[in-house]
Structure 1
Amino acid sequence: MKNQETRGFQSEVKQLLHLMIHSLYSNKEIFLRELISNASDAADKLRFRALSMPELYAGDAVLRVRVSVDKEKRTLTLSDNGIGMSYDEVIDNLGTIAKSGTKNFLASLGSDQAKDSQLIGQFGVGFYSAFIVADKVTVRTRAAGEPTDAGVFWESAGEGDYTIATIPKEDRGTEITLHLREGEDEYLDNWKIRSVIKKYSDHIELPVEIENKTKVEPAVETKKDENVDADNESVVDAEASDDTAQDPPVPNETEETVTWEPINKAKALWLRSKSEIKDEEHKEFYKHISHDFNDPLVWSHNRVEGKQDYTSLLYIPKQAPWDLWNREHKHGLKLYVQRVFIMDEAEQFLPNYLRFTRGLVDSNDLPLNVSRELLQDTKITQNLRSALTKRVLKMLTDLAEKDSEKYQQFWQQFGLVLKEGPAEDHANKESMTKLLRFASTHNDSSEQTISLEDYKGRMTAEQDKIYFITADSYTAANSSPHLELFRKKGVEVLLLSDRIDEWMMSHLTEFEGKAFQSVSQVDDSLKKLADEETPEQQAAEKALAPCIERVKTLLGDRVKDVRLTHRLTGTPAIVTTDSNEMGTQMAKLFTAAGQKAPEVKYILELNPEHELVKRVAKTEDESQFAEWVELFFEQALLTERGTLDNPSQFMNRMNKLLLSA
Structure 2
Amino acid sequence: MTINNKVETKEFQAQTKQLLDLMVNSIYTNQEIFLRELISNASDAIDKAKFRLLSDEEIKKDTDFEIYLDVNKEDNTITISDNGIGMTYQEVIDNIGTIAQSGTGNFLKKLKQNNENIDLIGQFGVGFYSSFMVAKKVVLTTKAPSEDKGVRWESEGDGSYTIESIDKEKRGTSITIHLRDEFTSDGDEVDFTSHYKIKELVKKYSNYVRYPIKMEIPKEEDTEVEVLNSMTPIWKKKEDEVSDEEYSEFYKANFRDWQDPLEVIHWSVEGLVKFNGLLFIPESAPTNLYSPDFETGIKLYSKDNLILEKCEDILPDYLKFVKGVIDSPDFSLNISREMLQSNKQLRVIAKNTEKVILRRLKKLLKNDKEKYESFWTQFGKAIKGGLYSNPGKKDKLEDLLLFSSSHIEDSLTTLAQYVERMSDGQDVIYYVVGENRKAIENLPQMELLQEKNLEVLYLFDEVDEFLIGVLGDYQEMKFKSVLREDLNLADDGSEDEEDEPKAKDLLAKIKDHLSDKVDDVRLSKRLKSSAACLVSSEQGMSIAMEKIFKQMDQNVGAANRILEINPKHKVFSKLEGIYNENPESKKLKEYSELLYNLSSLVEGLTPENPVEFASKITDLMAEN
Under a length normalisation based on structure 1, what TM-score does the superposition of the two structures give? 0.88
Deviation at 1:459, TM superposition (A): 0.5
Counterpart in the other structure of 1:237: none
Counterparts of 1:429-578 in structure 2 under 5 Å? 429-444=394-409, 449-523=412-486, 526-527=487-488, 529-531=489-491, 534-578=493-537
Counterparts of 1:337-376 in structure 2 under 5 Å? 337-376=302-341
Counterparts of 1:101-180 in structure 2 under 5 Å? 102-103=104-105, 105=106, 108-109=109-110, 111=112, 114=115, 117=118, 119-120=120-121, 122-147=123-148, 150-180=149-179
One-letter amino acid of the counterpart of residue 160, structure 2: D
Judged with a 3 Å threshold, the aligned counterparts in structure 2 of structure 1 residues 383 and 426 are, in CA distance, closer, same or farther, namely: farther
Counterpart in the other structure of 1:74: 76
Counterpart in the other structure of 2:181: 182
Deviation track 1:66-85 (CA, whole Å, cap 9, x = no partner) reads 11111111101111111111
Distance 1:361 1:479 in 2: 51
Counterpart in the other structure of 1:18: 21
* 2:354 equivalent to 1:394: no
Deviation at 1:650, TM superposition (A): 2.2
Deviation at 1:42, TM superposition (A): 1.0
2:204 pairs with 189, 199, 203, which one?
199
Distance 1:350 1:495 in 2: 30
Deviation track 1:76-98 (CA, whole Å, cap 9, x = no partner) reads 11111111111111112111215
Deviation at 1:106, TM superposition (A): 5.2
Counterpart in the other structure of 1:88: 90
Contact 1:23 1:117 in 2 (8 A): no
Deviation track 1:403-448 (CA, whole Å, cap 9, x = no partner) reads 1221122122222222212122434322322121111111345x6x
Counterpart in the other structure of 1:254: none
Distance 1:348 1:23 in 2: 41
Deviation track 1:184-243 (CA, whole Å, cap 9, x = no partner) reads 121000000011110011122111111124475xxxxxxxxxxxxxxxxxxxxxxxxxxx
Contact 1:86 1:142 in 2 (8 A): yes
One-letter amino acid of the counterpart of residue 450, structure 2: R
2:602 pairs with 632, 636, 639, which one?
639
Counterpart in the other structure of 1:47: 50
Distance 1:121 1:86 in 2: 24
Deviation at 1:496, TM superposition (A): 0.7
The Cα RMSD (Å) is 2.1
Deviation at 1:594, TM superposition (A): 3.5
Deviation at 1:297, TM superposition (A): 0.7
Contact 1:416 1:500 in 2 (8 A): no
Q: Secondary structure of the equivalent of 1:550?
A: helix
Deviation track 1:530-559 (CA, whole Å, cap 9, x = no partner) reads 24x632221122221121111112112421
Judged with a 3 Å threshold, the aligned counterparts in structure 2 of structure 1 residues 512 and 119 are, in CA distance, closer, same or farther, namely: same
Counterpart in the other structure of 1:426: 391
Counterpart in the other structure of 1:581: 540
Deviation track 1:156-182 (CA, whole Å, cap 9, x = no partner) reads 111211111111112221111000012
Contact 1:559 1:602 in 2 (8 A): yes
Q: Secondary structure of the equivalent of 1:212?
A: strand
Counterpart in the other structure of 2:188: none
Deviation track 1:576-609 (CA, whole Å, cap 9, x = no partner) reads 1123211122223223334223222311111112
Deviation at 1:146, TM superposition (A): 3.2
1:9 pairs with 9, 12, 15, which one?
12
Q: Secondary structure of the equivalent of 1:77?
A: strand
One-letter amino acid of the counterpart of residue 401, structure 1: K
* 2:385 equivalent to 1:385: no
Q: Secondary structure of the equivalent of 1:506?
A: helix
For structure 1, list consecutive stretches of 5 or more residues without a partner in the other structure: 217-256
Deviation at 1:101, TM superposition (A): 5.7
Distance 1:539 1:112 in 2: 61
Contact 1:198 1:263 in 2 (8 A): yes
Deviation at 1:346, TM superposition (A): 2.2
Distance 1:327 1:612 in 2: 52
Which moves more between the two structures, 339-348 or 543-552? 339-348
Distance 1:541 1:370 in 2: 74
Structure with bigger gyration radius? 1
One-letter amino acid of the counterpart of residue 5, structure 1: E
One-letter amino acid of the counterpart of residue 623, structure 2: S
Distance 2:231 2:102 in 1: 34
Distance 2:537 2:89 in 1: 65
Distance 2:176 2:325 in 1: 31
Contact 1:473 1:498 in 2 (8 A): no
Distance 2:437 2:108 in 1: 29
One-letter amino acid of the counterpart of residue 566, structure 1: K
One-letter amino acid of the counterpart of residue 134, structure 1: A
Q: Secondary structure of the equivalent of 2:484?
A: coil
1:272 pairs with 208, 212, 237, which one?
237
Distance 1:134 1:188 in 2: 12
Distance 1:164 1:395 in 2: 50
Deviation track 1:80-121 (CA, whole Å, cap 9, x = no partner) reads 111111111111211121527644x25635657735745555
Judged with a 3 Å threshold, the aligned counterparts in structure 2 of structure 1 residues 307 and 489 are, in CA distance, closer, same or farther, namely: same
One-letter amino acid of the counterpart of residue 602, structure 2: T
Contact 2:37 2:127 in 1 (8 A): yes
Counterpart in the other structure of 1:596: 555
One-letter amino acid of the counterpart of residue 537, structure 2: D
1:411 pairs with 366, 376, 382, which one?
376
Distance 2:133 2:571 in 1: 70
Deviation at 1:522, TM superposition (A): 2.4
Contact 2:260 2:283 in 1 (8 A): yes
Q: Secondary structure of the equivalent of 1:412?
A: helix
Matched positions, count: 611
Contact 1:143 1:151 in 2 (8 A): yes
Contact 2:72 2:193 in 1 (8 A): yes
Deviation at 1:7, TM superposition (A): 1.1
Which moves more between the two structures, 328-337 or 642-651? 642-651
Counterpart in the other structure of 1:282: 247
Contact 1:24 1:114 in 2 (8 A): no
Q: Secondary structure of the equivalent of 1:203?
A: coil
Contact 1:24 1:113 in 2 (8 A): no
